[in-house]
Amino acid sequence: MSTIPDPVAAPSEVLPRRQSRVWRKFRKNKAALLGGILVAFFVIVALLAPIVPIPGPTETDWGAVRKAPSVAHPFGTDEIGRDVLSRMIWGARASLLAGVVSVGIAVCIGVPLGVLSGYLRGWTDASVSRVTEALLAAPFLILAIALAAFLGPSLTNAMIAIGLSAVPIFIRLARGQTMAVMTEDYVESARAIGLTHIALITRYILPNIVPPILVQGTLTIATAIIAEASLSFLGLGQQPPAPSWGSMLNVAKNFLEQAPWMALYPGAAIFLVVLGFNLLGDGLRDALDPRDH
């Protein structure tokens, strides 16, 4: 996972007509639109999983083990005769869930800590910053592997592990943004008229840090999906018989020669959905950037 925050837009005062302007810019950005379509496609697929007329993702057929794609099984069958298409569709749920939930965890822990740290400064800031640095110093994946091993291999635990490992990114971002907002004139004057801390944070700081958090969040979903796939690939994520793309790859790597389709589709799906989130995140950043290019 990237521990380097991408260049993010500078904070700005919330403009009245901002929303429509953002949407206009976003719509004009073809790459972002493509990203949005990719993400939407996988979300819809994941939502429709229960009603699509396909075999169940855990239905086995001993007579059809590792059969190449055919009319009955458009994506072929896997190592114990399950329909790969069905497992792909159900696996989309695991991947998307892993991306969204782990980033949710990271945001819920990281943003309040970051805002507090940037707002209060002093000792709070110093201690939060030291912890953040210490966490960032352990390579992300190693941290996630150790956490996932500690919690035990399962999808839920993988999400927690990835979420916790991503917390420092959001602490850093929220802290930096808060500190930047605090120096703005209008915040200074609001402070001068004696607005309470809560009011200051909710009225001025939070609205201003939402756009960069949204951008970083979207981009981190992309990396979190890869991280889930990596953990599953190491056997620490989704556990059988439930499917996830990473665990499908973990099995598929043993059958590269005999059944390349088993590796091809889940890998391609991860690639596409991650690409989608990255394009979407980039598009959001450009659209939310107050500087007009």
Partner 1 sequence: MALKKNLALALAFGLAAGAVQAQDLRIGLQDDADALDPDQGRTFVGRIVFDSLCDKLVDITPNLEIVPQLATGWDWSDDGLTLTMALREGVVFHDGTTFNAEAVAANIDRSQNLPESRRKSELTSITGVEVVDDMTIRFTLRAPDATLMAQLSDRAGMMISPTAAAASGLDFALNPVCSGPYSFVERIQQDRIVLERFAEYWNADAYHFDTVTFLPIPDTTVRLANLRAGDLDMLERLAATDVASVRGDDALETAQATSLGYQAMTINVGNGDRANGPLGQDARVRQALSVAIDRDVINQVVFEGVFAAGNQAYPPTSPWYNAAYPVPKRDVDAARALLAEAGFADGVDITVQVANNPVQQQVMQVVQAMAGEAGIRISIEAKEFATLLADQSAGAYQASQVGWSGRVDPDGNIHQFMTTGGGINDSGYSNAEVDALLNGARVSNDTADRRAAYYAASDILMQDLPIVYLYHPVWIWAMEAGIEGFTAYPDGMIRLAGVTLTE
Partner 2 sequence: MLAFIGRRLLIAIPTIILISVFVFTLQKLLPGDPVLVMAGEERDPEVLAYLREQYRLNDPIIVQYFTWIGNALRGDLGISLRTQQPVLELIRQKLPVTIQLATMALIIAIVIGVPAGVLSAYKKGTWIDWVANIVALSGLSVPNFWLGIMMILLISVQLGWLPASGYQPFSDDPLGSIRTMLMPAFVLGTGIAATLMRHTRSAMLSVLSSDYIRTARAKGLAERVVLVKHALRNAMVPIVTVTTLVFGELLAGAVLTEQIFTIPGFGKLVVDAVFNRDYAVVQGIVLCTGVAFIFMNILADVAYRILNPRMRDE
The first and second tokens of residue 74, run together, are: 């458009």
CA angle 200, 202, 206 (to 5 degrees): 105
Q: Is the peptide bond before 241 cis (omega within 30 degrees of 0)?
A: yes
All residues at 6 or more sequence positions from 237 whose CB lies less than 8 Å from its CB, including other chains: 98, 148, 153, 154, 155, 158, 228, 229, 231, 244, 246, 247
| Residue 4 in the binding site for partner 2 (CB under 8 A) | yes
Size of the residue set binding partner 2 (CB under 8 A): 47
The nearer residue to partner 1, 152 or 207, going by C-beta atoms, is 152
Residue numbers 28-57 binding partner 2 by CB under 8 A:
30-31
Question: Which residue in 213, 179, 201 sits closest to 111, CA to CA?
Answer: 213
Question: Which residue in 276, 287, 161, 270 sits closest to 215, CA to CA?
Answer: 287
All residues at 6 or more sequence positions from 24 whose CB lies less than 8 Å from its CB, including other chains: none
Q: Identify the residue among 256, 260, 268, 271 touching partner 1 (CB under 8 A).
A: 256
The nearer residue to partner 2, 40 or 52, going by C-beta atoms, is 40
| Residue 255 in the binding site for partner 1 (CB under 8 A) | yes
Write the interaction track for partner 2 spanning residues 204-243; mark x where CB under 8 A is met and - where it is not. Answer: ------------------x---x--xx--xx---------
| Residue 253 in the binding site for partner 1 (CB under 8 A) | yes
The nearer residue to partner 2, 115 or 279, going by C-beta atoms, is 279
Please give the backbone phi and psi of residue 83, each rounded to the nearest 5 degrees, phi first. -75, 120
Write the interaction track for partner 2 spanning residues 145-184; mark x where CB under 8 A is met and - where it is not. Answer: xxx-xx-x--------------------------------
The nearer residue to partner 2, 57 or 246, going by C-beta atoms, is 246
Residues 244, 75: Cα–Cα separation, whole Å: 15
Q: Is 122 left (phi over 0), alpha (psi -120 to 50) or beta?
A: left
The residue ranges that bind partner 2 (CB under 8 A) are 1-4, 6-7, 30-31, 130-131, 133-142, 145-147, 149-150, 152, 222, 226, 229-230, 233-234, 249, 253, 256-257, 260, 263, 267, 270-272, 274-275, 278-279, 282
The residue ranges that bind partner 1 (CB under 8 A) are 58, 60, 62, 65, 79-81, 149, 152-154, 235-236, 239-241, 250-251, 253-258
